[in-house]
A and B are shown apart, each in its own frame.
Chain A
Amino acid sequence: MKYSILVMASPTAGQGSATAVSFARSLLARGHTLHNVFFQGDAVGNGLANAIFPQDERNLVGEWAALAEQHKIELILCISSALRRGVLDKVEAHRYERAASTLHPAFTIGGLGQLVDASANSDRLITFGH
């Protein structure tokens, strides 16, 4: 079955983001496919390159990145949510004259149209909220 995932939860508050990445790993392990993962609202923190996690805690940024690399999954951050929270790729950092990009290279910044695409092209679209 073809899945997509919408994540709304902050990576540092509650369990939503952690459950989402575990769910993604499980469905791939069972032979399903993952079309894309879309991050909206506070969930864009999952794509922050410079987040540092204590060694005895889950590093969700790293977990998503490993998943994306291993399975060639698109990880897309909603652009308006990302800009508001300072998660910028090189293009946006340049456009808004900010010193540096803050986006982890495993992620891309995109529009809500890609969420619509996920809905149209997946058998299941699963939300992970607060």
Chain B
Amino acid sequence: MTPQSVLFVLRHSPYGSDMAKSAIDAALAFAAFEQPLNLLFLGDGVLQLMPGQDGKVIGRKTIYKQLLSLPMYDVERIYVDRLAAQRHRIDLAAFPASVERVSEGEAHALMCDHRHVLGF
């Protein structure tokens, strides 16, 4: 992790609001300007990583598919709230990019270690 990097904290489920979409839009903008960033999925935010979701049936873009493209940009690390992933039974092994499971304490440390934390 570079000292300049930015942490996006994703706390919202994929389709209950437009927060997940807003985060992806912002992540792409950071990538366009070559600003490195890391993602941390907390709480209901882990639902964005649920495999097999299909936004098309409700007229929305599929968040999961958009997340898959992020490692091709400047997203360096993807961190996931371990307890929330267990609670929601998210199969993280299905996600093609590597993700790191973190405890509450590790999530807190991540927020302290980044230059900026943006909450979505």
A-side interface residues toward B, CB under 8 Å? 6, 8, 40-42, 78, 80-81, 111-113, 115-116, 119-120, 122, 124-125, 127, 129-130
Contacts and interface: CB of A to CB of B under 8 A. Distances in A.
A119 B35 contact: yes
Interface string B31-65: 01101000000000000000000000000000000
B38 to A, nearest CB: 13
Most chain B CB atoms below 10 A, which of A81, A115, A129: A129
Contacts of A120: 33, 35
Which bracket fits the contact residues of B? 10 to 19
A84 B25 CA distance: 14
Contact of A40 (B6, B22, B32, B116): B22
B120 A8 contact: yes
SS class, residues of chain A in contact with chain B: mixed
A125 B117 CA distance: 7
B33 A6 contact: no
A113 B18 contact: no
Which 9 residue pairs across A and B have the least CB separation, nearest first?
Answer: A112-B29, A127-B119, A125-B116, A116-B33, A41-B22, A129-B119, A127-B118, A119-B116, A40-B22
Given A119-B6, A125-B118, A8 B29 contact: no
10 contacts: A8-B22, A40-B26, A41-B17, A81-B22, A113-B33, A119-B35, A122-B116, A125-B116, A127-B117, A129-B119
